[in-house]
Amino acid sequence: MARTPKTMVRTLDVRGEICPYPMMRTVSALKKLSTDERALEVVTDHAPALETIPTQAARLGFQTDIEETGASEWRIMLTRTEAVEGS
């Protein structure tokens, strides 16, 4: 296949959302990713999501990297792990 891999990563902005929608909308977005999309970037200002999103993402086969980008704002990068590729 000569298709170039996607370099663009989809971003989901859940700032302002109330509990537990940052986590729920992340899970929905992860489930909707097509198989050639490797990652999803989530922008949130909801601190409790920093504990729930990694767990739920791991259950779906994604690993989590969290970066604090500002006052109570985080960029969460969720990347597909190889183990569940093609599932």
Partner 1 sequence: MRTAADRNPALGLTVWATAAVVYVAAHAVDTEFSMFWVFGLAFGFVLQRARFCFASAFRDIFLLGHSRNMKGLLLGLAVASVGFGLVMSRQVPMTSLGVYPPSANVLPLGIHTGLGGLLFGVGMVLAGGCVSGSIYRMGEGYIASWVAFAGVMGGLLLSAYTWNWWWEAHIAAAPRLWLPHWIGHPSALLVTLLALACVYLWVLSVEHRAGMVVPRSSRDQPQPESVSDDLRSVARILFVQGWPVLPAGAVLGGLNVLLFTAQEPWGFTGEVSRWSIGMASLVNAAPGPLAGVEELPGCVLVPSDGLFFNHMFFLVCGMCFGSFAAAVGAGEFKLRVPKRPVRYAQSLGGGVLMGYGSGIAMGCTIGALFSAIPSLAVNGWVFGAFLALGAWIGTHMIQRLE
> Which residue numbers are catalytic?
19
- Alpha helices of 1-87 — where are they, by DSSP H? 21-32, 49-59
Q: Report the Cα 77 to chain-centroid distance in Å.
A: 5
Using CB atoms within 10 A of its CB, is residue 43 exposed (0-12), middle (13-18) or buried (19+)?
Answer: middle
Stretch that binds partner 1, among 3-11, 30-38, 41-49, 77-85 (CB under 8 A): 41-49
Q: What's the distance, Cα to Cα, between the start and end of the chain in Å? A: 20
Query: Given the complex with partner 1, which of 23 and 40 has the nearer CB atom?
Result: 23
Query: Smallest distance from the beta carbon of 19 to partner 1, in angstroms?
Result: 4
Query: Smallest distance from the beta carbon of 58 to partner 1, in angstroms?
Result: 4
Q: Give the binding site for partner 1 (CB under 8 A).
A: 15-21, 23-25, 28, 45-48, 51-52, 54-56, 58-59, 64, 66-68, 70-73
